[in-house]
Each structure stands twice: as C-alpha cells, then as structure tokens.
Amino acid sequence: MSAPARNGAPVLSLRGVDTFYGRIPALRDLSLDVYEGEIVALIGANGAGKTTTLRTVSGLVRAARGEITLHGASLVGVAPDAIVRKGVVHSPEGRRIFPRLTVFENLHLGGYARKDADLAADFEHVLTLFPRLRERLKQKGGTLSGGEQQMLAIGRALMGRPKVLLLDEPSLGLSPIFVDTIFSVIADINKRGVPILLIEQNARKALHLATRAYVIETGSIVKSGSAADLLADDDVRKAYLGKD
C-alpha cells in the first residue's frame, strides 16, 4: 500500500511520551503520528511497550511526561471516558467483551456516550460488516467463538464512531480464516475514513496492510518509515518477520 500524501497536522500525535509502572519505565521519549487515511502499525517484541502505548493514549495509563494530542487538542490528564467522547476508541487485547450481555447489548454499550441521530445507522453498518453478529444478536457474548468475539469487540468500538481507532492484537488466537476476515474488515474500516493505530503479533500481515509503521524496543521507537520500506528492511525481517 502506498503512503498517501500527509497534508496538515496529524489526527493523533505523541511527542516525547514517558510512561511508568511504578518506578519502572514502560515508554521512553516516544513519538509517533497517525494522519488521516492511514493505518499505522506499531510492531515489536512482547513487553516492548506496544499495549502500553495504546493504554497511554486512551488514558488508562497516565503519561508522566510528553504530549498527546487529537487534532491538536491535548489528551494528557483527560479521563478515559472523556477521551472516548472526543473520538479515540480502543479495542483492547483479549477482546474484553461483556460475556453475560447479549451481542445486541454489547454493541449498544459501545455507543453509550452518543446522543446523535446516526446511532441506528452505525448499528446497521456494524451488522453489515459482521453478518455473523446479525445472526447472534440475542446470544450472550461469552458463548461466541473467539473469532466472533473479536468481531463483536471491533463492532463495539465502531459504535463509538471513532476519529481514530486503536486496535490491539485483533488476530490473537484466531484461526487463519477468521484472521483473513478481520484484516479485510480493518481495511474496509480504514477505506471508510477511520485512521487506525494497529498493534498486531503477525508483523508481516500488519505491514502488508499498513501505510506506515514504527518499531518499538524497550519503550522507545527505533525505526519508522513506510510499511513497504520496513518489510524490506533486513533488521526488521530478521527480528520480526521470519522466513518468507
């Protein structure tokens, strides 16, 4: 995928962000941008700081230093629920649906902060993206398969009408068929105008989908560039992509 022209300011920007768990540094002087029209992949080993980056953006972990902005407005110190209302929507690792609630109830909880007239249309859009969910609206979330739960988690996030979507390991634990389905839907979401910051264990698949990417090691960005350039980078290939 070729990178679009990046005109104007980024939708989401992190500058010099430090995050700690107690006294242990998790992010160190981290900077990255997500522009309109982009899927930006953040790749790295387990424990490198990928999930912490998303949790810091969404306010679940507080940045100790640095700046985080959405369309130029600071998110630092803003409560997580207010960050969601501003348009930063996070689909977390491990799906985290409400297992005792139905598919219908899970989806409508995703739009809990909205009062606009487009809520019903967005609900229908989610069911168009994920026809299996339409078939299971009255079924409890905890009885769905892993792939169906991931569909529900992403669908719930879309009900928040995100200005930027944070996706953490959307293919984790899924069968190859479900992985292909999820990645196809992610591409479709992006084509409809939602910029995405993506964490994905399958780095090769993430880079084939993404516009640009960053490589994170021990909480710091060590490489960045177009996804195509990182796919061809020998160090990235050896560390994260394995054999063709």
Quick: pLDDT tens for 189-202: 999 999 999 999 89
Task: List Cβ<8 Å contacts ≥24 apart for 47-52.
Answer: 48/216, 48/217, 48/218, 48/219, 49/19, 49/216, 49/218, 49/219, 49/220, 50/168, 50/199, 50/216, 51/93, 51/168, 51/199, 52/19, 52/21, 52/26, 52/27, 52/219
Q: Read off the pLDDT of residues 51-97 as tens digits, 9 standing for 90 and up.
A: 999 999 999 999 999 999 999 999 999 999 999 999 999 999 877 89
Please, which pLDDT band fits residue 101 given cuts at 50, 70 and 90?
very high
pTM as predicted: 0.92
pLDDT of res. 69: 98
Please, which pLDDT band fits residue 243 given cuts at 50, 70 and 90?
low
180: which 2 tokens? 């292909």
Average model confidence (pLDDT) across the chain: 92
Residue in this structure with the two tokens 């629920």, named with its chain if needed: 81
Q: Are 158 and 189 in contact (CB under 8 A)?
A: yes
pLDDT exceeds cutoff 70 at 41: yes
Q: How far apart are CA 234 and CA 154, in angstroms?
A: 33
Instruction: Return all residues near 124 (Cβ < 8 A) that are at least 6 apart.
Output: none
Of 112-116, 212-216, 227-231, which range is least confident? 112-116
| Domains with residue ranges and CATH for the chain | 12-96+162-241 (3.40.50.300)
pLDDT exceeds cutoff 90 at 107: yes
Q: How far apart are CA 113 and CA 94, in angstroms?
A: 23
